Structure 1
Amino acid sequence: MKTIKGPAVFLAQFAGSEAPFNTLDGMCQWASELGYKGIQIPTWESGLIDIEKAAESQMYCDELKGKVNSYGLEITELSTHLQGQLVAVNPAYDVMFDGFAPEQFKNNPKARTEWAIDFVKKSGTASSRLGLKSHASFSGALLWHTVYPWPQRPNGLVDLGFKELAKRWLPILNHFDEQGVDICYELHPGEDLHDGVSFERFLEATGNHKRANILYDPSHFVLQQLDYLTFIDYYHERIKAFHVKDAEFNTSGKQGVYGGYSDWKERAGRFRSLGDGQVDFSGIFSKLTTYGCDVWAVMEWECCIKSSNQGAREGAPFIQKHIIEAAERSFDDFAGGETDEKLLKGILGI
């Protein structure tokens, strides 16, 4: 067994244009004062990290890491959720996802994809220079628009979709392997990797690549009505990152898991601040600890009701309360000592 590290916080939902959220120093001081011990850094926030410099300069990475450490914090992972999304975009989503790309790559899907692949690779190099072992990302999606198919999917479409997805990610996975870093895909509706079955299809298409792993976030499984505890039994060996995010699913006679195009607060399934939803975090922390998952417990705050300030204040103590100090010995190990075969035979009467 292994004690989960934390509490930590994903900075993406808090970064902004006003102090203290517009600089790394400001966010580090803010997180430290709230009781967090780690930060997950979104790479698209250039005020927090310059990936071009981080990929080229060990000195820059040492200074960045030293700055974070000076506040009593550690960097848990870097995140390329937005850039990872751009590795694979179905043309139906080009206009909306262009907003995640630099201006010079908009209206040019091929160039946008090439830029995204290069950026994620550089983030892998940066992760290695920072001494990190895991990296958070999205898979992107070529098939999502067919997830509930009508008209029916033509035979072979899913296989071809995962073959193409693997083709785009394999150079990245191989680069991360050279850097000694795992890519942890957040399994998320809207991505081609959104549940266990889709993750297995991707693994198969990549030849069970050892760097293809999972960022476990139970909130997305609540919204899909997936058994998020049994999921850990199946995939614990691939869980290398952990978002602590709450959610709820309220049964309704008017809408289900698809949400009926409602705003977040009107949906049957919606994200909540930690402790306000239905996720069994005691069960999750118990399973992850039992299986020895070497992860940081990173709060990702997304709530349609509670303010981000309150959510951030409550997050660190909530996570700390759930972290289990892994047992170093069995509670009933009264006998102990070496195996005495003669004694054992006497007990059995043989």
Structure 2
Amino acid sequence: MPRLVTLYSLQWGDLSLENVCAKAKEFGYDGLELGLPDHLDVRQTDPEYYKGIKDLLGKNGLQLHTISSHLVGQAVCDRIDERHKGILPAYIWGDGDPEGVRQRAAEELILTAKAARSLGVNTVVGFTGSPIWHLLYSFPPVTGSMIDDGYKEFARRFIPILDEFEKLDVRFALEVHPTEIAFDTFSARKALEAVDHHPAFGFNYDPSHMGYQGVDYVDFIYQFPDRIFHVHMKDVYWSDTPKQVGVFGGHVPFGDPRRYWNFRSVGRGKINFEEIIRALNAIGYQGPLSIEWEDSAMDREHGARESCEFIKRIDFQMSKHAFDAFFAK
């Protein structure tokens, strides 16, 4: 059986969950990846609330295997400033005191694991933020101890969260992404080591965030075969010629044609999805392929529909035998 193709609902947060379900069904998706906080309130404790969500998805023929908390997770380890006020619920932001924001975000992640359990879901995708992202470019010179201290802070804040996830038999899948504690293969390995290979910690694989950096995004799958907990299908285009704005993205918005790279609808960028499918087959990944649709230059309904069709067309299962196995008589 081919893998499920699901739609991540975060980019559809302006619509009700009922509307998103109806559109996902119309576009041909097999399920949803529910994005917080727009389509799920993890503060709810009434079992009927979670039953209502499952019934709604079931009515539309949609499955649920993952919920995601990117925006709240970002605040757990970040250097908090006014940017976070724009992405966090008011009850997380509170008075804006940085440590208070981080503590409330951590508590919300634990509630997210409990909500996942109530929904029968065992994977939460999200961000961690990073206390050392601002040290990415080493000038003024950054010492090794400064980086090590950042990973220690990440571990101090996240291991208690992961312990609670483990108690609930729920996994946390960090989306490897710029501004997070892990943004390429090297930093992903350091993050895994920092939490002592905690069984509840792994990765949400999204090739788009590595491709434009020049990171071997297919090799990443082979490097962490037992830690790929979830997969985002997202495409990105980067230029073959010099542009006005380089790989860091500059101070221009997504979609600006002066940028070296921009996200694109799946199949319209430079990501080699054929090799990704083969690598996922090789490591035995059978979870959903979730479309995180982002393309500033395209109507999102057109893009969501064509992305679903594209992934369903290229996905295939690994052969159970070598092609030449029947040559021998």
Range into which the TM-score falls when normalised by the shorter chain? over 0.9
| Structure 1 residue aligned with 2:67 | 78
- The residue aligned with 2:3 is 5
After TM superposition, the structure 1 = structure 2 runs for residues 308-319 of structure 1, keeping only pairs within 5 Å, are: 308-319=300-311
Counterpart of 1:90? 79
Cα distance, 1:133 vs. partner?
Answer: 1.9
Is the aligned partner of 1:261 residue 2:259? no
Aligned partners of 2:76 and 2:128 also within 8 Å:
yes
State the alpha-carbon separation in 1 of the partners of residues 125 and 321 from structure 2: 33
Which fold has the larger relative contact order, with Cα–Cα distance below 8 Å and residues 6 or more apart in sequence? 1
Match of 1:225 among 205, 208, 214: 214
Q: By how many angstroms is 1:15 displaced?
A: 2.3
Gaps of 5+ in 2: none
* 1:102 correspondence with 2:89: yes
Q: Distance in 2 between matches of 1:102 and 1:245?
A: 26
Instruction: Provide the C-alpha distance between the structure 1 equivalents of 2:123 and 2:163, rounded to a whole number of angstroms.
Output: 14
Matching of residues 239-318 of structure 1 within 5 Å: 239-254=228-243, 255-264=245-254, 265=256, 266-318=258-310
Matched, 1:144 2:133: yes
- Cα distance in 2, alignment partners of residues 237 and 294 from structure 1: 12
Q: Paired residue for 2:42, among 51, 65, 70?
A: 51
TM-score by length of 1: 0.88
Query: What SS is found at the alignment partner of 1:263?
Result: coil
RMSD, aligned α-carbons = 1.9
> Rg: which structure is higher?
1
Match of 2:232, SS state, is strand
TM-score w.r.t. the length of structure 2 is 0.93
Q: Are 1:14 and 2:12 an aligned pair?
A: yes
Distance in 1 (alpha carbons) for counterparts of 2:221 and 2:282: 11
Q: 1:77 touches 1:135 (CA, 8 Å); kept in 2?
A: yes
How far the C-alpha of 1:202 sits from its partner, in A, is 1.5
1:28 to 18, 21, 36: 21
What amino acid does structure 1 have at the position aligned with 2:110? K
Q: Structure 1 residue 87: deviation in Å? A: 0.4
Q: Secondary structure at the match of 1:150?
A: coil
Q: CA offset at residue 28 of structure 1? A: 0.7
3-state SS of the aligned residue for 1:326? coil
Choose 297-306 or 322-331, whichever is displaced more: 322-331
Amino acid across the alignment from 1:263: P
- 1:33 Cα shift? 1.0
1:166 counterpart residue number: 155
- In structure 2, how many angstroms separate the alpha carbons of the residues matched to 1:285 and 1:76? 19
- Deviation string for 1:185-228 (max 9, x for gaps)? 00111212111211211111111111110000000011211111
> Matched residues, percent identical?
30
Q: 1:41 aligns with which of 21, 34, 39?
A: 34
Q: Which residue of 2 aligns with 1:340?
A: none
Q: Hey, what does 1:128 align to over in structure 2?
A: 117
The aligned amino acid for 1:280 is N
Distance in 1 between the 2:25 and 2:328 partners?
Answer: 43
Q: What displacement does 1:29 show?
A: 1.1
For 1:301, what is the secondary structure of its paired residue?
coil
C-alpha distance in 1 between matches for 2:104 and 2:2: 35
